[in-house]
């Protein structure tokens, strides 16, 4: 599906996915639209050849730097770029090295896929202590495999560890990942997404929160640490018109 920047109240940026430069998986580009309230929607989008050229140049730059080359200056990027890693293919030391190099190159964010790799929030906690500027996020974790309350707790924790640099990206996840890996049904994804975002956001912003949904019921619950000091961005992945409309 094509993203529609004309429907966005904010900006458009390209996320550079440098998925396992040392592995056989090839990197991909995605265009992302987000709105002023910082609830973002992600969807694959065809890109102008310029973006692919920009992507290849930065991919070569990152690869050269990681394999012994030096980058003496970091020119301002024409648009925010971020790196996405399949963590299961890499050691923790390599993941830290990639995040630090991406930060040094002026990239906007480091986004971790989870699937069957390393647990995303624990890994981001490590990266939070190893970086100082780059944004850290999940791209994505599944709202089928964690309750909204657990997502809020994890988001609150990593955001504190990173001094406010965390973005929570959530989505359904692949059917094979959900059904074969976790042994659970992936039914009612749209409804679950709506409730997961509402509850997660409510717990992150309220002293006490209740929600009466079709799937989840939360009764006067609170995070012991209290609401987050600022509004933590939430990204909802979307591949169909109804999910895009929700996002």
**In this structure, how many other beta carbons lie within 10 angstroms of the beta carbon of residue 173?**
22
pLDDT above 70: residue 163: yes
How many Å apart are CA 145 and CA 178, to the nearest integer?
A: 8
Two tokens at 186? 């992936």
Predicted local distance difference test score (pLDDT) of residue 174: 86
Over residues 70-112, the pLDDT tens digits come to 544 455 555 678 888 889 989 999 999 999 999 999 999 999 9
| Position with higher pLDDT, 37 vs 159 | 159
Over residues 114-154, the pLDDT tens digits come to 888 999 999 999 999 999 999 999 999 999 999 999 999 99
How many Å apart are CA 125 and CA 157, to the nearest integer?
A: 8
DSSP one-letter string for 197-209: HHHHHHHHH-SSE
DSSP state of 141: E
How many Å apart are CA 229 and CA 115, to the nearest integer?
A: 30
Backbone φ/ψ region at 179: left (φ over 0), alpha (ψ -120 to 50), beta: alpha
CA distances to 10, 53, 159, 240 from 245, in Å:
16, 31, 27, 9
Predicted local distance difference test score (pLDDT) of residue 96: 97
The stretch 185-208 carries a mean pLDDT of 96
If pLDDT is split at 50, 70 and 90, which confidence band does 164 have? very high
Whole-model pTM?
A: 0.73
Predicted local distance difference test score (pLDDT) of residue 49: 56
Predicted local distance difference test score (pLDDT) of residue 175: 83
DSSP state of 176: I
């Amino acid at each position: 599906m094509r993203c529609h920047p004309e429907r966005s109240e904010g900006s458009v940026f390209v996320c550079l996915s440098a998925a396992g430069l040392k592995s056989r998986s090839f990197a991909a580009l995605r265009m992302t639209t987000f709105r002023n309230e910082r609830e973002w929607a992600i969807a694959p989008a065809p890109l102008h050849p310029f973006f692919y050229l920009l992507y290849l140049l930065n991919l070569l730059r990152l690869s050269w730097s990681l394999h012994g080359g030096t980058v003496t200056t970091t020119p301002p990027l024409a648009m925010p770029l971020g790196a996405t890693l399949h963590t299961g293919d890499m050691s923790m030391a390599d993941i830290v090295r990639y995040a630090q190099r991406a930060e040094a190159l002026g990239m906007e964010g480091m986004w971790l896929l989870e699937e069957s790799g390393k647990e995303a929030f624990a890994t981001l906690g490590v990266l939070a202590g190893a970086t100082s500027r780059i944004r850290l996020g999940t791209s994505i974790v599944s709202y089928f495999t964690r309750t909204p309350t657990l997502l809020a707790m994890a988001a609150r924790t990593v955001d504190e560890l990173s001094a406010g640099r965390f973005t929570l990206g959530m989505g359904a996840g692949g059917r094979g990942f959900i059904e074969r890996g976790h042994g659970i049904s992936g039914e009612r994804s749209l409804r679950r997404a709506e409730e997961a975002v509402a509850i997660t956001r409510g717990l992150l912003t309220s002293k006490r929160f209740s929600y009466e949904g079709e799937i989840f019921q939360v009764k006067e619950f609170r995070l012991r640490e209290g609401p987050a000091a600022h509004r933590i961005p939430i990204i909802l992945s979307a591949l169909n018109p109804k999910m895009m409309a929700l996002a």
